[in-house]
């Protein structure tokens, strides 16, 4: 059905009566614009709650039923204003019109009683009321009709594809899942009818074959042999069924591996190159890091080397030579001095004559040694008197003899002379080693920079090894399953031959003419089964072909505003009669690395094409979507709106796009319907006070 309007009363952020919260829609793209937190998702909830009695709980990130949602259905402001023991009522009113022009009003209501400031008694279920407009007035529709009317607003099988949130697009059209599109096709097309016909004829084939065998047994010339053959046939049929089931499962697995294999095929050569470069990069980085460590430790060790390698003695040779010369002279002088000391040792000792005799001699004024007189005041007397002032002289020659120290110094300098002579070459060797390390580091850095430059950020985020591993895994699986299917086919052929042989044996035992109708029935069902199977294949193949064309038309129309978009959608029919979507280049090669916006666009194009496959759907039902373009740039979004306008009679898009526009005419979209802007308002501006909040719904004028 087409939606005329929706209005909310005290539902979530929509405080107040229906009149102040009404959004009317026309044909074309109806756009509801809103900034984050201004009620867009709550409006989406309003649609959803009215029809399905569920809301999306953003805290729990899932849909919850009315009882699970507790009092979150109600406006905080309405709850605040409600007096204790009074009731607050949340209500959605939706007016819809069917293809014959019949109008319906759908009301969903929930009440809650305020027990105190914090506690509420919420009604266990919401109430649904549907009214039909008859001639001049609205009349309530019997409850028994509710499900069928709701189903007419939006048939259940269309719901996931016509009422969706942006994030759901990925799971609805999961390109990694081999059955995702097939499921959509099965849900939205008549292909299941053909599947049913295949099933019926398969069953008929088994039943008619059994009936024929019974008839043949009845006419058998050897009933025990016929019984024996019958048992073998049953066993073989069981074997055949098992083998066919096994083949079906192997085929599905092979297809999954094939998709993975093909998807990686284009990436693999790049991945291998990247892996080689990654290996070089790892090795270069390791080498560079080791060299940097070596260089650092060498630089840090330079201080130690001053002492450990005696570099501190560099330039000491002249001093050593000088010292050596001086030491030689010192030694000569030392020896001379020591020799003189030895001579001195032969003279009288210093205390001879002893002072007691010297005093006696002075008192007697005569020298006892030579016998001369020494009158007081004479030179002789003075000489004798001078003997009293004699000091005891040291017995050693050198008062401070440094000869041992000088010798030690000399010995050391002699010992280090060769070391000192080698210091220059040692320093030069060390510094040339450091220079070599520096040069290697610099060269490695250059190579690393080159690799990084050529791969950009790719190396950092590199998945090459994983891609190669994954590729090899798919390749191995693919080969394994191909082998398994080959074996299945051989076994199936053998069992079929065996069954044919048993059939001939049974026929040989038949005496007389079997019932022609029974024979014909077995033959006809066999043919009908073959026919149903191949017709199903043809119909599916045509359906996919049409879908592919339609999706590509929509995709091209969406993408024409964006020059970067490349590729087209290819729907590949698999062996197991499923269909797998992929984005390919003009030569049909799978395109890896398409950006998120482009993938979303392709998926939306595919969804639209599936819905468009029945013109009645896109003409009779309204597509409602919350943030379908949330991951898209402006060009992509505009492309989406363009396609939406062309392919659907009515759509309602709740979006952040155009949030800066203030006039309807600023929005350059064909087939634009009504445009509203949502604005949540808190009177005193304090956004923490949610219980004062209400939402303004303003229609944008031209």
Partner 1 sequence: MANRNEILNNFINNEELYELSGLSPESLNDISFNPDPAGDVLVESLKKLIHSYCKGEAKITVIKNINIEIERIYRP
In the bound state with partner 1, the residue whose beta carbon lies nearer, of 143 and 203, is 203
Determine, following the binding rule CB under 8 A, whether residue 527 of this chain makes contact with partner 1.
yes
Q: How many C-beta atoms surround the C-beta of residue 40 within 10 A?
A: 21
* 203 near partner 1, judged by CB under 8 A: yes
Q: Which of 520, 588, 668, 699 binds partner 1 (CB under 8 A)?
A: 520
If the CB atoms of residues 388 and 538 are measured against partner 1, the closer one turns out to be 538
Cβ 501 to partner 1 shortest distance, Å: 24
Query: If we measure between CA atoms, which residue out of 618, 624, 616, 604 comes closest to residue 646?
Result: 618
Among 234, 517, 566, 681, binds partner 1 (CB under 8 A): 517
User: Which 3 state secondary structure label does DSSP give 294?
Assistant: helix
When asked if residue 194 is in the footprint of partner 1 (CB under 8 A), the reply is: yes
What DSSP character marks residue 2?
E
Among 121, 167, 193, 449, interactor with partner 1 by CB under 8 A: 193
**577: exposed, middle or buried (C-beta count within 10 Å: 0-12, 13-18, 19+)?**
middle
160 versus 537: smaller Cβ distance to partner 1: 537
Are 701 and 683 in contact, with CB atoms under 8 Å apart?
Answer: no
Applying CB under 8 A, does 492 fall inside the site for partner 1? no
- 251 CB neighbour count, 10 Å cutoff: 21
Buried b / exposed e along 488-508 (16+ C-beta atoms within 10 A): beebbeebeebbeebbeebee
Exactly one of 525, 621, 640, 648 binds partner 1 (CB under 8 A); that residue is 525
The answer for residues whose C-beta is within 8 angstroms of residue 70's C-beta and 6 or more apart is 122
Question: Whole-angstrom distance between the N-terminal and C-terminal Cα of the chain?
Answer: 28
Residue 157 in the binding site for partner 1 (CB under 8 A): no
Axis crossing angle, helix 596-612 with helix 516-559, rounded to the nearest 10: 130
Q: How far is the CB of 14 from partner 1 (least distance, A)?
A: 41
Rank residues 66 and 208 by Cβ distance to partner 1 and give the closer one: 208
Q: Would you say 374 or 547 has its CB closer to partner 1?
A: 547
Nearer to partner 1, 529 or 641 (CB): 529
Binding residue count for partner 1, defined by CB under 8 A: 27
Verify binding: residue 199, partner 1, rule CB under 8 A.
Answer: yes
Which H or E run includes 527? helix 516-559
Cβ closer to partner 1: 164 or 525? 525
Taking Cα atoms as reference points, which of 189, 102, 187 lies closest to residue 149? 102
Cβ contact 368:360 at 8 Å:
yes
Q: Does 200 bind partner 1 (CB under 8 A)?
A: yes
- List 197, 265, 434, 487, residue binding partner 1 (CB under 8 A): 197
Shortest distance, position 193 Cβ to partner 1, whole Å: 5
In the complex, the smallest distance separating the C-beta of residue 528 from partner 1, rounded to whole angstroms, is 6
Report the residue number, 292 or 533, with the smaller CB distance to partner 1.
533
By three-state DSSP, how is residue 480 classified? helix
Tell me how far apart the alpha carbons of residues 50 and 106 are, in angstroms, rounded to a whole number.
Answer: 7
CA angle 219–222–225, rounded 5-degree value? 115
**With binding defined as CB under 8 A, does residue 634 bind partner 1?**
no
Identified binder of partner 1 from the candidate list 204, 567, 581, 628, rule CB under 8 A: 204
Q: Give 188 or 295: the residue with its C-beta nearer to partner 1.
A: 188
The answer to the question of residue 539 lying near partner 1 (CB under 8 A) is: yes
Examine residue 427 and tell whether it contacts partner 1 (CB under 8 A): no
Q: Which stretch binds partner 1 (CB under 8 A): 194-202, 238-246, 567-575, 635-643?
A: 194-202
Instruction: Answer yes or no whether residue 516 interacts with partner 1 by CB under 8 A.
Output: yes
Of the ranges 5-13, 142-150, 353-361, 514-522, which one interacts with partner 1 (CB under 8 A)? Answer: 514-522
Nearest approach in angstroms of CB 500 to partner 1 is 19
Find out whether 612 and 600 touch, Cβ atoms under 8 Å: no
| Comparison of 115 and 517: residue with beta carbon closer to partner 1 | 517
Based on the shown chain and the rule CB under 8 A, indicate whether residue 208 belongs to the binding site for partner 1: yes
- The most distant pair of C-alpha atoms in the chain lies apart, rounded to whole Å, by 192
How many C-beta atoms lie closer than 10 Å to residue 589's C-beta? 14
**If binding is defined by CB under 8 A, does position 524 make contact with partner 1?**
yes
Alpha-carbon distance of 453 to 459, in angstroms, equals 10
Applying CB under 8 A, does 617 fall inside the site for partner 1? no
CB of 249 to partner 1, least distance (A): 25
Q: Which of 9, 182, 201, 570 binds partner 1 (CB under 8 A)?
A: 201
Closer of 601 and 610 to partner 1 (Cβ): 610
Stretch of 165-173, 286-294, 451-459, 519-527 lying at the interface with partner 1 (CB under 8 A): 519-527
| C-beta of 207 vs 326, nearer to partner 1 | 207
The one segment of 202-210, 241-249, 389-397, 410-418 that binds partner 1 by CB under 8 A: 202-210
Rounded (10°) CA dihedral 325, 327, 333, 334:
-160
Q: CA-to-CA distance for 160 and 43, rounded, in angstroms?
A: 18
**Size of the chain in residues:** 702
Query: Which H or E run contains 212?
Result: helix 191-218
Angle ∠(208,214,217) on CA atoms, nearest 5: 145
* Pairwise CA distance, residues 413 & 408, whole Å: 9
Q: Which of 538, 672, 641 is nearest to 194 (CA)?
A: 538
Give whole-number Cα distances, 232 to 148, 313, 504, in Å.
52, 105, 13
- Which one, 196 or 442, has the nearer CB to partner 1? 196
497 near partner 1 (CB under 8 A): no
* Chain residues in the site for partner 1 (CB under 8 A): 190, 193-194, 196-197, 199-201, 203-204, 207-208, 516-517, 520-521, 524-525, 527-528, 530-532, 534-535, 538-539
């Amino acid at each position: 059905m087409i939606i005329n309007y929706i209005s909310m009363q005290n539902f979530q952020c929509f405080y107040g009566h229906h009149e102040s919260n009404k959004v009317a829609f026309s044909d074309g793209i109806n756009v509801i614009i809103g900034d984050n937190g201004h009620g867009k998702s709550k409006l989406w909830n309003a649609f959803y709650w009215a029809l399905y009695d569920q809301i999306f709980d953003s805290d729990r990130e899932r849909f919850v039923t009315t009882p699970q949602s507790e009092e979150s259905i109600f406006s905080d402001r309405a709850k605040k204003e409600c007096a204790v023991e009074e009731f607050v009522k949340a209500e959605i009113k939706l007016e819809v019109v069917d293809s014959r022009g019949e109008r319906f009003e759908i009301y969903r209501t929930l009440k809650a009683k305020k027990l105190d400031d914090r506690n509420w008694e919420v009604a266990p279920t919401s109430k649904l009321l549907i009214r039909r407009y008859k001639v001049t007035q609205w009349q309530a529709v019997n409850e028994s009709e509710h499900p069928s009317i709701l189903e007419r607003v939006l048939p259940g099988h269309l719901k996931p594809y016509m009422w969706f949130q942006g994030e759901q697009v990925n799971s609805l059209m999961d390109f990694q899942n081999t059955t995702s599109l097939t499921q959509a096709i099965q849900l939205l097309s008549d292909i299941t009818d053909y599947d049913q016909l295949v099933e019926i004829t398969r069953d008929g084939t088994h039943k008619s074959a059994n009936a024929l065998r019974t008839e043949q047994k009845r006419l058998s010339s050897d009933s025990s042999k016929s019984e024996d053959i019958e048992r073998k046939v049953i066993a073989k049929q069981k074997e055949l069924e098992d083998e066919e089931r096994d083949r079906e499962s192997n085929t599905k697995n092979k297809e999954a591996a094939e998709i993975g294999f093909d998807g990686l095929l284009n990436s693999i050569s790049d991945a291998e190159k990247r892996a080689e470069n990654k290996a070089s990069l790892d090795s270069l980085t390791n080498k560079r890091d080791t060299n940097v460590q070596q260089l650092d430790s060498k630089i840090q060790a330079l201080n130690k080397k001053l002492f450990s390698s005696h570099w501190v003695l560099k330039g000491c040779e002249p001093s050593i030579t000088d010292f050596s010369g001086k030491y030689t002279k010192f030694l000569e002088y030392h020896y001379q001095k020591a020799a003189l000391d030895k001579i001195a040792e032969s003279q009288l000792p210093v205390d001879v004559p002893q002072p007691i005799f010297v005093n006696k001699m002075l008192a007697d004024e005569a020298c006892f040694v030579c016998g001369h007189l020494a009158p007081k005041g004479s030179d002789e007397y003075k000489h004798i008197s001078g003997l009293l002032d004699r000091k005891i002289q040291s017995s050693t020659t050198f008062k401070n003899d440094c000869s041992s120290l000088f010798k030690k110094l000399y010995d050391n300098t002699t010992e280090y002379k060769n070391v000192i002579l080698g210091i220059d070459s040692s320093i030069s060797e060390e510094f040339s080693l450091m220079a070599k390390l520096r040069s290697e580091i610099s060269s490695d850095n250059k190579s690393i920079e080159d690799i990084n430059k050529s791969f950009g950020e790719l190396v950092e985020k590199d998945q090459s090894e994983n891609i190669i591993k994954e590729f090899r895994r798919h390749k191995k699986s693919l080969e394994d399953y191909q082998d398994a299917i080959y074996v299945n086919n051989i076994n199936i052929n053998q069992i079929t031959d065996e069954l044919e042989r048993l059939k001939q044996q049974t026929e040989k035992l038949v005496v007389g003419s079997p019932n022609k109708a029974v024979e014909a029935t077995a033959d006809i069902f066999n043919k009908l089964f073959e026919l149903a199977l191949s017709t199903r294949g043809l119909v599916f193949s045509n359906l996919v072909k049409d879908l592919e064309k339609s999706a590509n038309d929509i995709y091209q129309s969406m993408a024409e505003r964006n020059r970067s978009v490349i590729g087209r959608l290819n729907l590949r029919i698999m062996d197991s009669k499923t269909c797998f979507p992929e984005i390919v280049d003009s030569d049909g090669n799978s395109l890896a690395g398409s950006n998120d916006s482009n993938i979303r666009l392709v998926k939306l194009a595919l969804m639209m094409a599936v819905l468009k496959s029945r013109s009645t759907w896109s003409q009779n039902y309204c597509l409602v979507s919350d943030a379908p373009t949330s991951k898209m740039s402006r060009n992509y979004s505009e492309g989406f709106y363009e396609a939406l306008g062309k392919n659907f009679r009515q759509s309602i898009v709740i979006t952040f796009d155009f949030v800066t526009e203030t006039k309807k005419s600023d929005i350059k979209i064909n087939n634009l319907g009504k445009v509203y802007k949502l604005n949540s308002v808190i009177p005193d501006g304090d956004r923490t006070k949610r219980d004062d909040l209400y939402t303004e719904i303003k229609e944008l004028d031209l």
